[in-house]
Amino acid sequence: MNLGLNKRQKIIVATVVVTVGLLSTQLVDFNLRFRFLLGLSVLTYLISLWALKEGIDKLKAVLILILPTLFTLAVASFYFLLPIRWLTRLPVAIIFGLSFYLLLLSQNVFNVAAVRTIPLYRAASTVAFLFTLITSFFLFNVVFAFNLLFFINAILVFTISFPLILHMLWSLEMEERLNLSIISHSLILSLSLAEIALVLSFWPMVTIIWSLTLSSLIYVLLGLSTSYLRGKLSNRILWEYLGIGIIIFGIAFSRTYFT
């Protein structure tokens, strides 16, 4: 259904609908929250597909919509942890709405750039990378907040990381088919993060440091992988990212608490 709207207007409509859905979490009973999160995620996917459907094929219908769907799930999951006050949650919802609108615009650029070269691709790629880090941080924060068993933490981190990394690596070339190199890189990076999450599950640290460490490692691993796949990986870039990784673990260790 086009409803006589152009693509930008449909993106605005999709943003309003999803933001209202986020606000409605205030009214959901605690026992129904997980079902509501699932429903909101499905709604996000469907309405984002409706807004961006022009020129979208089956592969892009999956890959391009990974980030909007998981971003909504991440913010909605974290939204429940906020104080039950409109004074707190309303500004967060407004920021989410603006962010979601920007995110859909960036995914629309990927949709168009897969067919022809456009100057906004670099900006869209930067936005997608930023939202990948934000999404992973929120989702990792929720995972660790449940204080689950170490192997469950690893499984969930892998499940979260794989689609986010796959989306980012695919967006480098946006080929019509997923090639083996993109899939293998995504699997290796996701498994690496899962293993690190397993180790960190035994590391006494507060939730926010746990999630910040893992999302920062996504930054390092994705930075190295994208440089390699673009053929731009040099010793300078390698040592820059390794230096960032060392700093991350230094901060994590400094924030360790002992009992």
Query: pLDDT value at position 44?
Result: 94
Query: pLDDT value at position 45?
Result: 95
What one-character-per-residue DSSP string does 22-68 give? HHGGGGS-GGGHHHHHHHHHHHHHHHHHHHH-TT--HHHHHHTTHHH
| Whether residue 91 sits in one domain with residue 64 | yes
Range(s) of the domain holding residue 247 = 119-259
CA–CA dist 211, 215 (Å, integer): 6
Q: Which of 63, 82, 116 is the last residue of a domain?
A: 116
The number of helices, as runs of H, and strands, as runs of E, in the chain is 10, 0
Query: pLDDT value at position 228?
Result: 86
Q: Which tokens sit at 143?
A: 């995972």
Query: pLDDT value at position 116?
Result: 66
| Whether residue 144 sits in one domain with residue 88 | no
Which residue in 68, 190, 212, 49 sits closest to 132, CA to CA?
68
CA–CA dist 173, 169 (Å, integer): 8
| Whether residue 203 sits in one domain with residue 218 | yes
| Whether residue 182 sits in one domain with residue 219 | yes
The answer for residues whose C-beta is within 8 angstroms of residue 91's C-beta and 6 or more apart is: none
Tens digit of pLDDT per residue, the chain (259 long)?
556 678 888 999 999 999 998 888 777 777 777 888 899 999 999 999 999 887 777 888 889 999 999 999 999 887 776 666 667 778 888 999 999 999 999 998 888 776 666 777 888 888 999 999 999 999 999 898 888 888 999 999 999 999 999 999 998 888 778 888 899 999 999 999 999 999 888 888 788 888 888 998 999 999 888 888 888 888 888 888 888 888 887 877 777 665 4
Q: Which tokens sit at 62?
A: 């999956």
Query: pLDDT value at position 236?
Result: 86
The type of residue at 227 is: S
| Whether residue 249 sits in one domain with residue 132 | yes
The Cα-based distances of 219 to 41, 77, 131 in angstroms read 25, 22, 11
| Whether residue 256 sits in one domain with residue 140 | yes
CA–CA dist 193, 215 (Å, integer): 9
Query: pLDDT value at position 204?
Result: 80
Q: Which of 76, 98, 116 is the last residue of a domain?
A: 116
The total of structural domains in the chain comes to: 2
Look at the block and give the residue holding tokens 């699932």: 38
The answer for residues whose C-beta is within 8 angstroms of residue 177's C-beta and 6 or more apart is: 59
- Kindly report the pTM of this predicted structure: 0.90
Q: Which of 58, 89, 116 is the last residue of a domain?
A: 116
Query: pLDDT value at position 114?
Result: 61
| Whether residue 231 sits in one domain with residue 244 | yes
What one-character-per-residue DSSP string does 160-207 give? HHHHHHHHHHHTTT--SS--HHHHHHHHHHHHHHHHHHHHHTTS---H
